[in-house]
Amino acid sequence: MLSEQPIQSIRKTIQGYEKEDKAYIAVDCIIFGFDLNEEELKILLVQRDFEPQKGEWSLMGGFLKKDENLDEAAARVLYQLTGLYDIYMEQLGVFSEIDRDPADRTVSIAYYALINIIDHNQEMVDHHSAQWFNLSEIPRLIFDHNKMVNSAIQRLQYKASVQPIGFELLPEKFTMRHLQKLYEAILQRELDKRNFTKKINALDILIKLDEKDKESSKKGSFLYTFDKEKYLQKRAEGFVFKI
Amino acid sequence: MLSEQPIQSIRKTIQGYEKEDKAYIAVDCIIFGFDLNEEELKILLVQRDFEPQKGEWSLMGGFLKKDENLDEAAARVLYQLTGLYDIYMEQLGVFSEIDRDPADRTVSIAYYALINIIDHNQEMVDHHSAQWFNLSEIPRLIFDHNKMVNSAIQRLQYKASVQPIGFELLPEKFTMRHLQKLYEAILQRELDKRNFTKKINALDILIKLDEKDKESSKKGSFLYTFDKEKYLQKRAEGFVFKI
DNA sequence: TTTGATAAGTGTAAAAATTACATTTAAAAT
DNA sequence: ATTTTAAATGTAATTTTTACACTTATCAAA
C-alpha cells in the first residue's frame, strides 16, 4: 500500500503542503453592548478612514498571526478597539466567498463579543472612529459584514435563551427591569413582567441585594447579581438554564 | 485624515495584504449515516495509509482551493469519498490551534454531512480504506478530529430538534419506527412510541403511503415520505418544526 | 384450521409549563 | 396630606408534556 501512495502524500505530511493554496485569515468582531438608559441593544462599528470605501462602516477586524489561534486573534482585535480583555466571545463561523474581499483572497472568521457597554475605553474607540448603533439602525457595511451581523444576532438570540450569557451585557449589579429589558432587546419581543420575574426567580441563580437602584423611580428597585458559583454548581448537577 | 493613515493601510486595500501571514485552509467532514438494520447512527472514517500516523483513523479532508468557497470545498471532499453530491452539509466551526497539524500551520473548518447510508459508492469508500463506526465506538482520531466529531454530534442533536433534517439520513420511504429509532439515535435517549407518533402526526409534514414495509413484522408497517413542499409552505406561514 | 409469535397501531388521564391579566406598595416631590 | 412614579406581587385558564397497556394484522408452525 505504502509504495502505491503518490509521492506528494508523503511530502505533505513530512514537509508541509507546498502544492496547496494558502489564504489570508481574518477575524471580524460583532461587539454587542446594552445601553441601560435607552434600553437598547447596540453593536460597535468602526468607520474606514482610508480608500477605497472610505467613510463606510465596518466590523472591527484583523488578521490571524502565525503565533496565535483564532480565539486569541479575536481577543486581540477586541482589545485593540475597546481596551477590554477577558471578555465573553464566541466563534460564529467562516465567511469564505472567493471575492468577498476585493483586495485579496481572505477568509474571515466572525466572532461576537458581549461587553458591559460602560467599560470600554472611550479614547481607543474614538481613535478608530467607532460608534454604537442600535440593532434596528445598522448601516450598510463593507464586504459581507451585514451577513455576519445578522448571523450574530441570530446566534445571540439562541445562546442567550439556553445559557446565562445575558449577564455579560449588564453591570455587576442590575435590577429586574434591566434584565427584562435586556432580554426583550435580545429576543426582539415584549415579555410579561410578572411571568419574567417568576421565571428568573425559579431559576434561582441570582442574589438579591439589600441595595436599591433609585435612578428609575421614587420607590427604587432592588439590585441583583448573577451568582455564577451557584449556577456552575447547579449545572454540574444537571440543571439547564432556559429562558 | 487620509494623510495620517500609515502607508500600508492603503497598500492593503489596493495591492493586498503582503505584510500579513497566510495559512493553509483545510476542510474536514463528519459524515453521518443511519444504519436501518442495526438502528445505529454511524460516521464514516478513513484510515491513513501513509506515514506518519499510518493506520490511524481520520476524518475525510482536503484543502480549500483558490477558486472555490468552503461550502464547495466541503462538497468536493464529500464527493471524493462517497460519490454523492447535493447533500445536506453544514459548517460547524474552525479549529485553529497553532500546532494542531504538525506538518504545517493549517486551520481546518469542520463540516458535517447527512447521507442516506445505502447511497454511497462502495468502491470509492473502499478505495480510501473507509469504514463506518457507531457513535459509541469512535476510535482515537488524528489531530483534533475527535473534538470535531463531538462538536458535530452536539450540533446535530440541536439542529435535528429544530429543523427537519433527520429525513436526510433516511431513504425516501421510511416507517414511523425508522424515524423514531433515528431520533433516538441522534438524541441518545429513548422515546415513547405513542407520544412520538402523536407529535410527528401533529406536525403534519409527512405523507402516509398505501405501501407497507414487510421486513420488520408479519403485520407490516406503513411507509411515509417527508412532504418537503408542505413543510416549506408551512414554514413560510410561521410554522416552526420542533421535536 | 387453529394457535402462537411478532411488531404495529392506537387513547386517555395526570402533571407540568405557559400564558393572560390588575391591584397594592414604597418613597419622593409638591 | 396629596400626588406621582415605577416596583412588587398571585391566581386561574390553557396548553404542552408525560406516563402508561391493550388490540390488531399477518405469517408460520403445529
Residue ending a domain, choose from B129, B162, B195: B162
- pLDDT of amino acid A3: 38
Residues B96 and B23: their CA atoms lie apart, in Å, by 10
- pLDDT of amino acid A55: 86
Residue ending a domain, choose from B146, B162, B178: B162
Q: Assign B211 a pLDDT band (cuts: 50, 70, 90).
A: very high
Same domain, residue pair B203 and B224: yes
Same domain, residue pair B131 and B178: no
Interface test with A, best of B25, B65, B126 (most A CBs within 10 A): B25
User: Any idea what the CATH number is for the domain that residue A177 is in?
Assistant: 1.10.10.10
Q: Can you tell me the mean pLDDT for B211-217? A: 94
Structural contact between residues A28 and A109, judged by C-beta atoms closer than 8 angstroms? yes
From the list A86, A60, A82, A59, the residue with the least C-alpha distance to A72 is A86
CA B192, C1' D17: Å apart? 12
Interface test with B, best of A1, A8, A12, A20 (most B CBs within 10 A): A20
Structural contact between residues B56 and B47, judged by C-beta atoms closer than 8 angstroms? yes
Residue with cell 477586541: A78
A2, A93, A104 member nearest B93 (Cβ): A93
Q: Is B9 on the interface with A (CB under 8 A)?
A: yes
Neighbouring C-beta atoms of residue B209, cutoff 10 Å: 12
- pLDDT of amino acid A52: 66
User: Any idea what the CATH number is for the domain that residue A98 is in?
Assistant: 3.90.79.10
Same domain, residue pair A103 and A158: yes
Q: Please give the average pLDDT of every successive group of 10 residues along chain A, which has 243 residues.
A: 40 67 98 97 90 86 97 98 98 98 95 97 95 97 98 98 98 98 98 98 97 94 98 95 96
B150 within some domain: yes
Residue with cell 490571524: A64
Q: Check A5 against B67: CB less than 8 A apart.
A: no
Same domain, residue pair B154 and B73: yes
pTM to 2 decimal places: 0.93
Structural contact between residues B104 and B21, judged by C-beta atoms closer than 8 angstroms? no
Sign, CA dihedral A122-A126-A130-A136, equals positive
Residues A96 and A77: their CA atoms lie apart, in Å, by 20
B67 within some domain: yes
3-state DSSP assignment of residue B165: coil
A2 within some domain: no
Same domain, residue pair B133 and B199: no
Residue with cell 509504495: A3
Strand partners, B115: B33
Residue with cell 447527512: B114
- The C-alpha of B71 sits at a distance from chain A's nearest C-alpha, in angstroms, of 8
A8 within some domain: no
Same domain, residue pair B150 and B195: no
What is the identity of the amino acid at A4? E
Q: Can you tell me the mean pLDDT for B86-104? A: 96
Same domain, residue pair A125 and A177: no
Q: With contacts defined as CB-CB under 8 Å, which chain A residues touch B103?
A: 12-17
Neighbouring C-beta atoms of residue A233, cutoff 10 Å: 12
Count of domains for chain B: 2
Decide: CB of A218 under 7 A of nucleic strand C.
yes
CA A181, C1' C18: Å apart? 20
Same domain, residue pair B134 and B100: yes
Q: Residue B217: phi, psi to the nearest 5? A: -160, 165
Residue ending a domain, choose from A132, A162, A192: A162
Same domain, residue pair B175 and B144: no
Check pLDDT > 90 for residue B14: no
Check pLDDT > 90 for residue B87: yes
A176 within some domain: yes
Which pLDDT tens digit goes with each residue over B154-206? Answer: 999 999 999 999 999 999 999 999 999 999 999 999 999 999 999 999 999 99
Q: With contacts defined as CB-CB under 8 Å, which chain B residues touch A49?
A: 1-2, 5
Strand partners, A114: A32, A88
Q: Check B69 against A97: CB less than 8 A apart.
A: yes
Q: Check A1 against B104: CB less than 8 A apart.
A: no
Strand partners, A106: A24
Neighbouring C-beta atoms of residue B136, cutoff 10 Å: 8
Check pLDDT > 70 for residue B150: yes
Structural contact between residues B33 and B125, judged by C-beta atoms closer than 8 angstroms? no
3-state secondary structure chain A: CHHHCCHHHHHHHHHCCCCCCEEEEEEEEEEEEEECCCCEEEEEEEECCCCCCCCCEECEEEECCCCCCHHHHHHHHHHHHHCCCCCEEEEEEEECCCCCCCCCCEEEEEEEEEECHHHCCHHHHHHCCEEEEEHHHCCCECCCHHHHHHHHHHHHHHHHHHCCCHHHHCCCCEEHHHHHHHHHHHHCCCCCHHHHHHHHHHHCCEEEEEEEECCCCCCCEEEEEECHHHHHHHHHCCCCCCC
CA A213, C1' D6: Å apart? 12
* Higher-confidence position of B5 and B54: B54
A7 within some domain: no
Same domain, residue pair A105 and A36: yes
Check pLDDT > 70 for residue B224: yes
B177 within some domain: yes
Neighbouring C-beta atoms of residue B5, cutoff 10 Å: 14
Decide: CB of A140 under 7 A of nucleic strand C.
no
Q: What is the DSSP string of B12-78?
A: HHHH--TTS-EEEEEEEEEEEEEETTTTEEEEEEEE--SSSSTT-EE-EEEE--TT--HHHHHHHHH
**Chain B nearest-CA residue for A25:** B22
Q: Which nucleotide is nearest to B194 (CA to C1')?
A: C10
B156 within some domain: yes
- pLDDT of amino acid A7: 38
| Polymer length in residues for chain A | 243
Q: What part of A 27-66 touches B (C-beta under 8 Å)?
A: 49-54, 63-66
Region class of A56: left (phi > 0), else alpha (psi between -120 and 50), else beta: beta
State the residue range of the domain holding B114: 23-162
Same domain, residue pair A157 and A191: no
Same domain, residue pair A126 and A229: no
